[in-house]
Amino acid sequence: MSDEQTTALPPRRRSRARRLLGMATALLVAASGLSLVAIAEQPASAVSATEILRSFDPSDIISDAVMFNPSTMSAAAIQTFLNGKVAKCRTGYTCLRDYRQDTTSKAADPMCSAYTGAKDESAATIIYRVGKACGVNPQVLLVTLQKEQSLVQDDWPSARQYRSATGYGCPDTAPCDADYYGFFNQVYKAAWAFKRYTTPKGTEGAGWTKYNWFPVGRPSGVLFHPNAACGAQTITIKNKATAVLYYFTPYQPNTAALSAGFGIGNSCSAYGNRNFFLYFTSWFGSTHYAVGGAIATYWTKQQGAKGVLGDPVQNAVAVTGGQVQRFEGGTVYSSGAGTFAVRGAMLTKYTADGAQSGELGWPRKDVVTRKENGGGTIQAFEHGSVFQSKAGAFAVPEPVYGQYGKVSFQAGGLGWPTAAAVESQAAGGGVVQAFQGGRVAVANGKGAVVTGAVLA
């Protein structure tokens, strides 16, 4: 039987105010918990935080696709992320990147699959395995650890912070419940609760709490602050994931909180869901489009949202042979040939030629820069390459590609392509393509390279 089958989940809101006073990177507001604390321990500047909050929608804070995608990060990727958030832990303290503990086994239930306990698991491994078991994005768990106890970035965390790491079982009006103490318990129960609030199959009947006070698709009032006198705003919550955040942290930021970036609003401001949105967006990009699997690995290596690709603008789409996902700065293609981005004029040409369904097939290498014959960039695909120079971007497909290679591609006498390959009756119904220094003609499986003055 679930520990919640006869009662609602234990009240969980205000995380405990922590030892931020005196830290150069943090500002503690006079309040009794982090849901009411604005922290100047920012992953982005105040200006950029304010800009991020312009897109904050209290009815649609995060999508279901992102919240419940457990494949966004491997345990190794989580460890690398944690390592990058704390350069050096203070002497005598254990930072989250170095934290380890024995974990206990958890039986499968409607929320999570079975978790087999293990000796000496790292925080990164715990976050990864809990995310997998409960079907929750590990990025969501990392952000929760940060917004509740600042554990991700703290270089001198206390035992109390680990004890109540996600704020689970910590109500506004009473001390935290000792039954849920401990880092592993906190991470597991937070993920478990995120799924429980969605009313998964097997939790609808008698004895189970009906979570319906933040309904999806119907207007409901959400408070600005635990003090009801501060008022509420009626919103229509658009998805389960946003409702989950309100069940976990039942306040929305008021205008003063949203105008303050990571800073202080007013006496009626609460910051939990605001800070969730800010940390997630600053660290991982969009809260509405998930990046997972091989595409996530590639995107992360390209510096994620801060790199040339920027944020995703759609979720990955499964197509014959692989997956495709569009980003602000290009499109990532993942197939048996590998995972690579195609960008700029190269992408325009590739798309016009049918992308992965066209004659070039899937990309098999990243773009490279070459200096020969005036210079340009090249990207290799399964059945040819796209060459971009001052003359433009042109695909060189098979069978022209093979003949072009025999004369050293762009480094040889032909130089860079100046036109697309076209069918030509003059070439016996074959294919002809023009280059800076000549042409390649291929017909009936035989090719010819013509260079020099013949083109004059």
Sign of CA pseudo-dihedral 94, 100, 101, 106:
positive
End-to-end Cα distance, the chain: 86
> What pLDDT was estimated at residue 450?
80
pLDDT digits (tens, 9 = 90+) for 144-161: 999 999 999 999 999 999
Q: Is the pTM of this model over 0.85?
A: no
Torsion of CA 109, 111, 114, 120, to 10 degrees: -130
Contacts of 453 (CB under 8 A, 6+ apart): none
Q: Which pLDDT score, from 0 to 100, does residue 426 have? A: 62
Integer Cα distance of 311 and 277 in angstroms: 15
The β-bridge partners of 376 are 370
Model confidence at 27: pLDDT above 70:
no
Which of 6-20, 53-67, 177-191, 282-296 comes out lowest in average pLDDT? 6-20
How much is the average pLDDT of 237-261? 97
Q: How confident is the model at residue 30 (pLDDT cuts 50, 70, 90)?
A: very low
Q: What's the mean pLDDT when you consider all of the chain?
A: 88
Portion of the chain with pLDDT greater than 90, in percent:
76
DSSP letter at 14 equals P
Within 13 Å and on the Cβ side, how many CA atoms surround 208?
17
Mean pLDDT of 163-192: 93
pLDDT tier at 9 (50, 70, 90 boundaries)?
low
Q: Where is average pLDDT lowest: 45-54, 129-138, 145-154, 209-218? A: 45-54
Specify whether the CB–CB gap between 34 and 248 falls below 8 A: no
Question: Is the Cβ–Cβ distance between 278 and 52 less than 8 Å?
Answer: yes
Q: What percent of the chain has pLDDT over 70?
A: 88
Give mean pLDDT, residues 9-25. Answer: 38
Mean pLDDT calculated for residue range 362-374 = 97
Cα separation values, 133 from 100, 240, 282, Å: 19, 19, 26
User: How many secondary structure helices (H) and strands (E) does the chain include?
Assistant: 13, 16
- pLDDT by residue (tens digit) across 410-447? 999 999 999 999 988 665 668 999 999 999 999 887 88
